[in-house]
Structure 1
Amino acid sequence: MTPETSGGIVRSSALTRFRLAPNPGPMSLNGTNSYLIGAPGAAGSVAVDPGPLDEAHLQALAGDGAIELILITHRHADHTAAAVRFSELTGAPVRAADPTHCHGALPLQDGETLRAAGVDIRVLATPGHTSDSLCFHLPQDGPHGSVLTGDTILGSGTTVLDYPDGTLRDYLGSLDRLERLGPATVLPAHGPVLPALDAVARAYRDHRNGRLEQVRVALQALGADAGIGAVADAVYTDIDPSVRRAAELSVAAQLDFLRTGPTDREGRLGR
């Protein structure tokens, strides 16, 4: 998709555009992608993840045109901090899975289809990064559709599992669900747009299974009761200190998964 920029808002697919929030960091990569969804000629847009409380960013989004609805992919502050302020600016209600992040509207439900800004938006529960993580499927967006993946799938690297709220068991199930959507365009909350959601979901699952094998090997060397820190030291040998906490959360999720056992009948880690 050829970029076209107005007020920092860039075309990301046939039915979406985004503006990069000014909040780069170890966990947010180059910043939060705040998306605008709308069909050509629609009177307004749907905003997804208004991001951090940065007035210039919000004014640029609001200045693009009418906002019908604000959607939240999950509870983390780099996605939700500006939601109430953006609602005040635009008059649009805020909907999320978690009622505490809703404003003037009901929580979103798994499988619900929203019709707004001339677009069908299908709500998918994809827990794992957090328990309330959602993805938004736009089946009409190009030949294969698109999916706004929040932090469930990123544009580069892999996501952290915010254990114990997010679990590996849930996350693997969510990757399976996303893979079944086929080669949809990936519209992540951080990082660049990616093609072929099904291939990306498989690669993410392979990465998780590889990490699980590393944790197994570490437990064999350290003992079955080894702590999170010791296992993280063994598995993440060259970790940047700025993401050490994220590595420990992922190790905790992996240990929980291994110690509570697989879910499928053949004992596989993912489909």
Structure 2
Amino acid sequence: MTLAHPAYAQVREVTPIVSVMLEDNPGMMTLDGTNTWILRAPGRAECVVVDPGDADEEHLARVAALGPVALTLITHRHFDHTGGVQRFFELTGAPVRSVDPEFLRGGGEHLVDGETIDVAGLTLTVIATPGHTKDSVSFTVEGEGTVLTGDTILGRGTTVLDDSDGDLGDYLSSLRRLLDLGSGHRVMPGHGPELPELNVVAQQYLDHREERLDQVRAALGALGGTPTVREVVEHVYSDVDPKLWPVAEKSVNVQLAYLRSLD
């Protein structure tokens, strides 16, 4: 029987190289939970793990048991992707690589945009995709047309931009960069199910962001003066459950900063 998303605490094969274990940490920001990706070349014992998840001992132990782990990669700094980094390193001894130096372990080096990583029979390419956070990166898997997008593109819904270090200008550029990869690439997101066509989803994300920007501009005109972020959210996100408005405020803060940068 082929497993379907969501399948907690089980290894679900997505392609001959890429499998996923879904962490049981569903929530407003994590959707069904955090996807921990396991990459293994056919016939090889070692694997690469992308985003071990948060500090969930059972999840970390299950992923570590799939090893030996040759390398751990981090898509971005958020706790639901990195909270378990130290414990996972203790369990596997595998070096950890990321953009943010806080998560480097075992001699792992900073990830560099455009670099090629040859490990455990796999060839991965790093693509800097900041915007959701400053340190966000994606990874392509050579020979498969798969792209691990972290939270830059999700399996459903749209991405919230972190107003502590997220940047809409960067995010739009990152989406265009993913779009430029062309057709035939599957999305392996940080949350939600995988998607079949990266370029289609990237274009939808770009269109959505432009639509929201137009709505924010219109809200500023309609409200007049210097409206609060919450007032803009209530105007623009009137079609969204009010429970989500505090989250929407993060994106609106980033949108307003972007509009100010254009003045």
TM-score, structure 2 as length reference: 0.94
| Matching residue within 54, 72, 75 for 2:74 | 72
| Matching residue within 128, 134, 138 for 2:137 | 134
Q: Which ranges of structure 2 fall in alignment gaps of 5 or more residues?
A: none
TM-score, structure 1 as length reference: 0.91
Query: What is the identity, as a one-letter code, of the residue corresponding to 1:108?
Result: L
Q: Distance in 2 between matches of 1:203 and 1:139?
A: 25
Partner of 1:166: 166
Query: What is the identity, as a one-letter code, of the residue corresponding to 1:156?
Result: R
Q: Which ranges of structure 1 fall in alignment gaps of 5 or more residues?
A: 263-271
Contact kept? 2:122, 2:142, Cα under 8 Å: no
Higher mean alpha-carbon deviation, 44-53 vs 218-227, is at 218-227
Per-residue Cα deviation, 1:238-263 (whole angstroms, up to 9, x for no partner) = 4334432220011111111112118x
Q: Distance in 2 between matches of 1:239 and 1:81?
A: 30
Contact kept? 1:149, 1:187, Cα under 8 Å: yes
Contact kept? 1:3, 1:12, Cα under 8 Å: no
Q: Tell me how far 1:7 sits from its aligned partner.
A: 6.2
Secondary structure in 2 aligned to 1:13? coil
Q: Distance in 2 between matches of 1:166 and 1:217?
A: 23
Contact kept? 2:234, 2:245, Cα under 8 Å: no
Identify if the C-alpha distance between structure 1 residues 224 and 152 changes in structure 2 by more than 3 Å, giving closer, same or farther.
Answer: farther
Higher mean alpha-carbon deviation, 107-116 vs 149-158, is at 107-116
Identify if the C-alpha distance between structure 1 residues 6 and 258 changes in structure 2 by more than 3 Å, giving closer, same or farther.
Answer: closer
Contact kept? 2:8, 2:24, Cα under 8 Å: no
Q: Distance in 2 between matches of 1:25 and 1:182?
A: 32
| Matching residue within 89, 95, 98 for 1:96 | 98
Q: Distance in 2 between matches of 1:40 and 1:3?
A: 20
Q: Tell me how far 1:93 sits from its aligned partner.
A: 0.9
Q: Distance in 2 between matches of 1:7 and 1:162?
A: 28
Partner of 2:147: 147
Identify if the C-alpha distance between structure 1 residues 66 and 116 changes in structure 2 by more than 3 Å, giving closer, same or farther.
Answer: same
Partner of 2:18: 16
Per-residue Cα deviation, 1:3-48 (whole angstroms, up to 9, x for no partner) = 4999611012221101000100011000000000111111200000
Q: Tell me how far 1:140 sits from its aligned partner.
A: 1.1
Secondary structure in 2 aligned to 1:69? strand
Identify if the C-alpha distance between structure 1 residues 95 and 50 changes in structure 2 by more than 3 Å, giving closer, same or farther.
Answer: same
Partner of 2:156: 156
Query: What is the identity, as a one-letter code, of the residue corresponding to 1:237?
Result: S
Secondary structure in 2 aligned to 1:64? coil
Secondary structure in 2 aligned to 1:114? strand
Partner of 1:246: 247
Q: Distance in 2 between matches of 1:205 and 1:127?
A: 14
2:116 equivalent to 1:82 = no
Partner of 1:188: 189
Query: What is the identity, as a one-letter code, of the residue corresponding to 2:78?
Result: H
Query: What is the identity, as a one-letter code, of the residue corresponding to 2:253?
Result: A
Contact kept? 1:27, 1:243, Cα under 8 Å: no
Secondary structure in 1 aligned to 2:14? strand
Q: Distance in 2 between matches of 1:7 and 1:176?
A: 34
Identify if the C-alpha distance between structure 1 residues 89 and 231 changes in structure 2 by more than 3 Å, giving closer, same or farther.
Answer: same
Contact kept? 1:182, 1:196, Cα under 8 Å: no
2:127 equivalent to 1:124 = yes
Identify if the C-alpha distance between structure 1 residues 12 and 224 changes in structure 2 by more than 3 Å, giving closer, same or farther.
Answer: farther
Give the fraction of aligned pairs with identical amino acids, expressed as a percent: 51
Q: Distance in 2 between matches of 1:26 and 1:164?
A: 18
